[in-house]
Amino acid sequence: MSIFDLPGVYARHPQGGVKHVQELLDAGFRWYAFNLHDHPVPEWSEVIALCRSVEMPVFPWFFVRTDEEVASLCELARQQFDGQVIVNAEKPLDLGQVTMDAILRETQGLDAALSTEPWLYDSIEWSEFPGPIQLQLFPQENETSKDPRGCRTHAYARGARRADFMLGMHGRPPAEFPYRQYGYSVYTVDDMGPNCDVWGPENPMPLHAGEFPKVAPGYGPNSASKPQSKKSKAWRALKRAMHNAGFGDFPNPDDAYNAQLSAAMRSFQVVAGISPSGDYGSASYEALRTLAAVTPTSGGAYAMDEQSRAWTREAKAAGDPK
């Protein structure tokens, strides 16, 4: 398990109103990353002590510009912060001033996240990084951030093992950002103030079986368990849900449990803490009952929206899948 499976916060300045650690913990945040790029560890000593007094994992994040900075950051994390770290690698990574080879080498054995621009660079082989990639959403600063679903699906298309959202609030309200679920983060505590609850995790009530019935398991063409499932509206519904949640790109879903659906299911299962087989079974069904769309619509928060649920009910009534 990674600490980044859970929600957390960034802090920018040690005197920026960032010491309400207990309130953060009460709101559901489970890690605290402090800005080492602009402020050395001694300046954060009071914040670090506060975090440790309530057993809130605390560790550095750093905007790296060279491979040497990556090495220094990761060594500090290894020696003083339980091997937890965020490597903030933006344009220098695209330009080759920071290399993925260095990030992989220096983060080996650490619990590390890689924070970067929301639309992943085509110049980088993202599939090599084993941890979460945090997509920095700043909708007040760039148009790309206003399409978080597109950013996430692009990240998975580029090979990301896990793509999470970093919500760059800067005075913007929570409603302008994706639904807060699983391992998201908020930038920054400085801008949040003591009312942490409004940025805390959200979880919709589980859909009941009458709305979203459980159907037989589903298997893709390369499943290690069973032959590929026959076509069904149930798989059309799954594709729509994966599209809504940003784990795949299915603007016009069909009824096939194909390789594309298996890949999207694996990405979803990694985030949900399910063995990433790409198959659809009981554990995936239970997680899907509360999975939110990236951006809730008029039909509600659920990735399994009204149309998806209707297709699933039709499949169940027709006696498929089998």
CA distance 156 to 219: 20
| Range with lowest mean pLDDT among 6-15, 63-72, 173-182 | 173-182
Same domain, 239 and 177: no
> Is 293 inside any structural domain?
yes
CA distance 56 to 24: 9
> Is 224 inside any structural domain?
no
> Is 219 inside any structural domain?
no
Backbone phi, psi, residue 105, to 5°: -65, -50
The mean pLDDT of the chain is: 95
CA distance 294 to 150: 10
pLDDT value at residue 299: 59
Look-up of token digits 């300045």: 13
pLDDT of 24 > 60? The answer is yes
> Is 221 inside any structural domain?
no
Same domain, 195 and 238: no
pLDDT of 298 > 70? The answer is no
* Cβ atoms of 77 and 60 closer than 8 Å: yes
CA distance 311 to 240: 10
> Is 225 inside any structural domain?
no
Question: What are 254's two structure tokens?
Answer: 């069909």
Same domain, 167 and 254: no
Question: What are 141's two structure tokens?
Answer: 């600063």
> Is 22 inside any structural domain?
yes
CA distance 238 to 255: 9
Angle separating helix axes 100-107 and 67-80, nearest 10 degrees = 10
Same domain, 118 and 245: no
Same domain, 262 and 189: no
Q: Which residues are paired to 188 by β-bridges?
A: none
The total number of structural domains in the chain stands at 2
Q: What is the 3-state secondary structure (H, E, C) of the chain?
A: CCHHHCCEEEECCCCCCCCCHHHHHHHCCCCEEEECCCCCHHHHHHHHHHHHHCCCCEEEEEECCCHHHHHHHHHHHHHHCCCEEEEECCHHHHHCCCCHHHHHHHHCCCEEEEEECCCCCCCCCHHHCCCEEEEEECCCCCCHHHCHHHHHHHHHHCCCCEEEEEEECCCCCHHHCCCCCCCCEEECHHHHCCCHHHHCCCCCCCCCCCCCCCCCCECCCCCCCCCCCCCCHHHHHHHHHHHHHCCCCCCCCCCCCCHHHHHHHHHHHHHHCCCCCCCECHHHHHHHCCCEEEEEECCEEECCCHHHHHHHHHHHHHCCCC
Q: Which residues are paired to 35 by β-bridges?
A: 61
> Is 213 inside any structural domain?
no
**CATH number for the domain including 194?**
3.20.20.70
Same domain, 65 and 195: yes
CA-based nearest residue to 116, from 103, 30, 106: 103
Percent of the chain at pLDDT > 90 equals 92
> Is 226 inside any structural domain?
no
Same domain, 86 and 155: yes
Same domain, 193 and 245: no
Which tops the pLDDT comparison, 164 or 203? 164
Same domain, 255 and 186: no
Domain boundary among 142, 176, 199: 199
Q: How far is CA 110 from CA 37, 158, 182, 290, in A?
A: 19, 23, 20, 31
| pLDDT band with cut points at 50, 70 and 90 for residue 322 | confident
* Cβ atoms of 19 and 50 closer than 8 Å: yes
pLDDT value at residue 193: 81
| pLDDT band with cut points at 50, 70 and 90 for residue 152 | very high
Task: Provide the domain limits for residue 95.
Answer: 3-199
215-268 tens-digit pLDDT: 999 999 999 889 999 999 999 999 999 999 999 999 999 999 999 999 999 999
| pLDDT band with cut points at 50, 70 and 90 for residue 203 | confident
Same domain, 275 and 154: no
